[in-house]
A and B are shown apart, each in its own frame.
Chain A
Amino acid sequence: MPIFSIYITSKSGSLLYQKDFKVLNNPITKQNSNDYLVIASTLHGVHAISAKLTPAASAKNYLSSKLPTNSNKTGLRMITTSQFKIYMNQTVTGLEIILFTSPDMGQTKISGIYDKIYQLYCDYVLKNPFYQLEMPIRCKLFDDKLLSVVTTTNV
């Protein structure tokens, strides 16, 4: 159940961090740096629109779900395609973590990975005195720790 790539977008939809991981049989091809920006902001927009499409009868469905629901109650969560899945999670502050995984990745496993990544973001990005909010993330420690989290799940 490998993770192919990770995008982190800010609350306004700009791409803060993007990384493709080296995985065997990765269906995701390398794109232009511009395409990454387009994809990230499209996903951000679609995330908000999908909340508006909620059928009235299903509006309270999230109450019965077993997943952690302190954030992202109404927005887009998962996109399934034939070659990969996209998992999106939004924290209460608006930061979005988007993971591209293989189609066999489950929801419960992904929520554990989110927690770890968010923890890393707090520890190594937000606590970095040289990091400015809403700007692209260039922190070597975050890079390294993120890679080790992803490698442990990919193996």
Chain B
Amino acid sequence: MLNYIIRRLLYMLVTLVFVAIISFMLLDLTPGSYLDTEIARLRQAGGNMSDGQIEALKIRYGVNDPFPLKFGKWIVGVLQGDFGQSFEFSVPVSSLIWGRLAFSLILATSSIIFAWLISIPLGVYSATHRYTIPDYIITVLQFVGVAIPEFLIALVLMVVSASVFHADVGGLFSPAYVDAAWSGAKFVDFLKHVWIPIIVIGASSTAWLTRVMRANLLDVLNAQYVQTARAKGLGEGLVIWKHAVRNALHPLIMAAGGILPALISGEVIASIVLNLPTTGPLFINALIKKDTYLAVAFLLLLSVMLVVGNLLADLALAWVDPRIRLE
């Protein structure tokens, strides 16, 4: 088992190095840099820059360095926790990302838990009451849930809560608490805001997991050991939850690895609509403004989140399924 984990970790590291190279290359080798945008903006504002000034700026930001040198400098910095400077904000990238990434991580994790808590009972109910009206309703909801883009759920939820409940929507905190230090009151305020993003981000995953759960359980319910359990007189609840559901959970854990990319993508786009202090808004803005180091740092760390999440899903699978563990 330890061997397996170490191998996976090494593997992960290699993947991430390649992710870094690819993302850096994508943003760096394409025409136009933040500097061009900045020079154009200054010129538009009426200021004129001499060629000498431009040259000095280029040297300062290392724009004309060859790619391997630029990448080499950057990756050495990354290993020491220095992700370079943000062009737009003129501060180190690392001072911008960690707080936002933490919120992203909290949201993604809570959404997964939300999706599981909702989808398992729904899937079980749907499978054990096949072809009844509630089953049809769940099936329809699950089809629609997969089809709705996250930002649309976000909009609908916000419009409804703003116009029906007159609730203060958007963001993760009320204005009064945004800059306040963490306290009991701030946490309560946080809880009041965080449910919308969790539902938005978790909705499509919930729909998908419900579907997987229903299909798995239907397969398992046909198995002979379920018949045996019933034949020896176990109560139906025990048969379903102890014998059937436990075995139907394995594919669900595998599916958890599969929904991670959707969760992270959903978080990025939902946070823009909901105006959350997470990675999404800053990342997309950095891409549009060509703030290379900031964008690459986000892409890399979001990938780290995904890869680590997948590893955790695999470990969880090995933990619940001795067949994998003992292989």
> Do A and B assemble together?
no
Interface residues of A (CB under 8 A from B): none
Interface residues of B (CB under 8 A from A): none
